[in-house]
Structure 1
């Protein structure tokens, strides 16, 4: 007679952090993955803990058999969040579409793309790729259309919570992460930044990384391009292709809710910047104007622009009394709060679309001024210095202590530059995907000990800042992740913005 399922509170070992049923499921999944099917089945029988519920098993079988309508209907009886159900439906319909194209049923595929996939409003860039599959005799079509049902099932497994479906090779991933953390501990004394506090215990390091989706924000109607937490950690601002920005308030329970939706731009909102005291917010329309908003009332306080020119970025001076912006004529202009132009640095100072930053002491202005060069202008001594790269620069991020610059390159590398003494690269990060879009990275975690980045493969990548080791690749989004922001006042909270029109809030979740 099989034993009854253990209580959800039954734990393994005395620390009470490992749930017995989840632990057994991971072992069972590993046995099946290694081909030990009899041993896996025996463990399920002896423990009384089924790897998957009968509903989940039925769902997985329907996907493998290509019973698309039935598999979509069965999603409703599986215990997954509503937003996950929508993303799962997209994956299922995507596989159905690809098989129709591969079998030459292009008319049915076209109708399906128009009537079933596009209305989901998920991953518009992928929808465009699927449309390319309908172009006959196209080499690109042949490449994009290659897919298999097991591949789709694996995507679904990564999408669902581990408590619902245990992903393939989950144990291997956990062991690899533990070994990475252990290696990170051994390299502690060799870190290039002696002031950076590294985590000497691999389990402690992993516990500091928010790697579980705790909330999905879905108020934008189009791709979310940029987001940034306020300095005090109480708010998150997001910018979207839907021509709006949203101010989200972080509640005491760490849940975010809409405080204000900012409407007024006539083009995509591509950038936001918090005032030093977080009472005001700047929003920049893509090659349009900059608007200044009162956070509490949501009122637009002023509009900044130049006749016949557009603005491409924005930021605050440390005193909060002036603001600056890159202009489409490649100049950099500053205004006082009333809208009077204070000074404009003419000539090749920035690109048409690029980042600009100013240090906290107000002495250095940093901008991308050529495809492969970043200009560091020292206002005090009036000296220009260059950061030179061999590849095209996509974006950059300034560390909170203003000593380092994180530079994203077109070849998918991320370089960490020291801004002290002779400028030099002190670390490199690899692994994320970027082929077409503007991807942003940031300094994250306790004492900014991690590097986080968006990616075109819909994942958030996190590296150890000192060693350059890739620690985690977090799935969940169904479109390109454009930007990541970490809450400086709560390093266990991170947010990511995606083309799938959502913002994912990441936390520690259950450990």
Structure 2
């Protein structure tokens, strides 16, 4: 069956890459990594050969040491005079050294006198080669057949670097391009060291300033009051914001989807269902409402007779919700409102700070001014995460291994929740004196920390080092909350007392 391919000349978002060259680089990488079948299949399917037959013959002649024939083919490549002369010099130098190694000094002398010298390039190198006729000590010459072959492969790689890419794709070209990109990132990136089973691993979090969402790309002005809370959905397609006037739901780039009205008091927190089809909202010391995202309708109201609710969240399987109450209890409900479990006692404060680990087995809640309780639901075991300052808010990482704790003394502590709980990094710089300011993880592998601040700026640190990377001006009031898009890592939202939500991008 015949197939016809239409190949665009240029590819890439900016149209700067020649398709044929791009395919050749990928094919070459497949061959060099040992994936010969995959490389051959790509050549067949794309109908773009890695090398024309003349180049393949040239490469084979070099590996076989047929120097005169390889120079003859080289002259057919249409090279510039300078490139042709340099490539010829590389080939003839190898021819000369192999004559020397085999003890054929007569042919070596003829090659040097009649072929290399007339090229009139690299005079110093020619003098060094001539000296080898007198003393072999001035240059290391391979002494085994195995090294001979390796030396020819090395010569071929040098020729590949010298000749234009349209003639022959340089060996390991894709690896070189990736390494060059990483080198450029190292110039402006902060790399951190992780010790894992005794190995030192360096992870590049691409923290160049142009890759952190630092440009004000949109201002959302749907609210008529201070915006206290903002949160992206898990799929990154929706953004929920809570303010002193109402609750809003936004989508797209970024347009208003719903105004969620129904609470009698201010909305203090929101929580997305695991599949993002529903949303929980908690009124300040009031009730928790469950909403349908598509229709904007309230599906259920959760309330605890005799006490008010102050926080809420979803279980990872989406089959239940949990809420913190003003009587310092934690209640767990099925979606239809039936109570599954209730933890009573000094486990919550009148604050919206609660979280659940990604396996659903443990709950975290602010239980004292300076302590967070870690509740193991299965083992009925409790541990305290204690600070020596008042805790204003906290945020759990996606993998549940780390906890961000915002303190009243204008510090943000990064806790490790593996093994013995401990502070592993301290972030400083943002301002907080009166209000609750929230922080979050974000970026590739959640390698950054972002926080609001009472000086109207957003602060961004490197997670592992605590180094302050950026401060983002744009708001005219205290920034209360930030949320980093979990799917579009180049998007972030910040909520402020100036009644606005700013969308940050790259």
TM-score range, shorter chain: 0.5 to 0.7
Partner of 2:192: 188
Q: Which residue of 2 aligns with 1:206?
A: 209
Query: Is contact 1:181-1:206 (8 Å) kept?
Result: no
CA–CA distance in structure 2, aligned partners of residues 315 and 262 of structure 1? 18
Residues 195 and 296 of structure 1: is their aligned pair in 2 closer, same or farther, counting only changes over 3 Å? farther
The one-character-per-residue Cα deviations of 1:481-509 (angstroms, maximum 9, x if unpaired) are 0000000100100000001000000001x
- 2:221 counterpart of 1:228: no
**Alignment match, 1:294:** 292
The unaligned stretches of length 5 or more in structure 1 are 1-14, 16-179
The alpha-carbon distance between structure 1 residues 445 and 368, as it changes in their structure 2 partners (threshold 3 A), is same
Checking the alignment, whether the CA contact within 8 Å between 1:276 and 1:319 is kept in structure 2 is: yes
1:41 aligns to what?
A: none
Partner-residue secondary structure (3-state), 2:415: strand
Task: Give, in angstroms, the shift of residue 245 of structure 1.
Answer: 1.2
Tell whether the 8 Å contact from 2:371 to 2:385 is kept in structure 1 after alignment: yes
Partner of 1:376: 374
Q: In the alignment, which of 487, 493, 496 is matched to residue 494 of structure 2? A: 496
SS of match in other structure, 2:208: helix
- The correspondence for 2:426, drawn from 422, 425, 428, is 428
Aligned residue among 235, 247, 255 for 2:249: 247
In the alignment, the residues of structure 2 paired with residue 314 and residue 487 of structure 1 have an alpha-carbon distance, to the nearest angstrom, of 21
Partner-residue secondary structure (3-state), 1:362: coil
The 3 A distance-change label for structure 1 pair 196 and 487 is: farther
- TM-score, structure 2 length as denominator? 0.61
Measure how far apart 1:320 and its partner are. 0.8
In structure 1, what is the Cα distance between the partners aligned to 2:283 and 2:202?
38
Q: CA deviation at 1:354?
A: 3.6
1:458 alignment partner in structure 2: 456
SS at match of 1:207: helix
Residues 229-255 of structure 1, C-alpha deviations (whole Å, 9 max, x = no match): 00011101111111x211101x2xxx1
Quote the residue 1:310 is aligned against.
Answer: 308
Is it true that 1:343 corresponds to 2:373 in the alignment?
no
Deviation of 1:343 (Å):
1.6
Write out per-residue CA displacement over residues 350-372 of structure 1, whole angstroms, 9 at most, x where no aligned residue: 11114111111111101110111
- From the superposition, tell whether residues 350 and 409 of structure 1 become closer, same or farther in structure 2 (CA, over 3 Å): same
Partners of 2:399 and 2:229 in 1: CA distance: 22
Deviation at 1:200, TM superposition (A): 7.0
What does 1:73-472 correspond to in 2, within 5 Å?
185=190, 188-189=192-193, 198-199=203-204, 205-242=208-245, 244-249=246-251, 251=252, 255-472=253-470
Q: Which has the larger radius of gyration?
A: 2
* 1:483–1:375 distance in 2 versus 1, CA, 3 Å: same
Between the aligned partners of 2:193 and 2:307, the Cα distance in structure 1 is 51
> Alignment partner of 2:445: what SS?
helix
Structure 1 position 475 matched with structure 2 position 459: no
Unaligned runs of 5+ in 2: 1-15, 17-184
Does structure 1 retain, via aligned residues, the 8 Å contact 2:452–2:480?
yes
Alignment partners' CA distance in 1, 2:275 and 2:403: 23
Aligned equivalents of 2:431 and 2:196: distance in 1?
A: 26
**Residues 1:183 and 1:429: Cα distance change in structure 2 (over 3 Å):** farther
- Which stretch has the larger CA shift, 487-496 or 345-354? 345-354
Q: Is the 8 A contact 1:359 1:365 kept in 2?
A: yes
> Take 1:437 and 1:200, find their aligned partners in 2: how far apart are those partners?
31
Distance 1:424 1:182, change over 3 A: farther
- CA 1:181–1:247: 2 relative to 1, 3 Å: farther
Aligned residues: 323
Secondary structure of the 2:310 match is coil
Residues 421-455 of structure 1: per-residue CA shift (max 9 Å, x gap):
00010111000000000000000111111000000
Deviations 1:274-319 (A, max 9, x none): 0010000000100011000000000000101112321111000111
Q: Deviations over 1:120-169 (max 9, x none)?
A: xxxxxxxxxxxxxxxxxxxxxxxxxxxxxxxxxxxxxxxxxxxxxxxxxx
Q: 1:393-444 CA deviation, whole Å, 9 max, x = no partner?
A: 1110000011000000000000000000000101110000000000000001
Deviation, 1:190, is: 6.1
**8 Å CA contact retained: 2:312, 2:352:** no
Aligned equivalents of 2:201 and 2:331: distance in 1? 35
Aligned to 2:63: none
- Other structure's SS at 2:209 match: helix
TM-score by length of 1: 0.61
Contact 2:205 2:447 in 1 (8 A): no
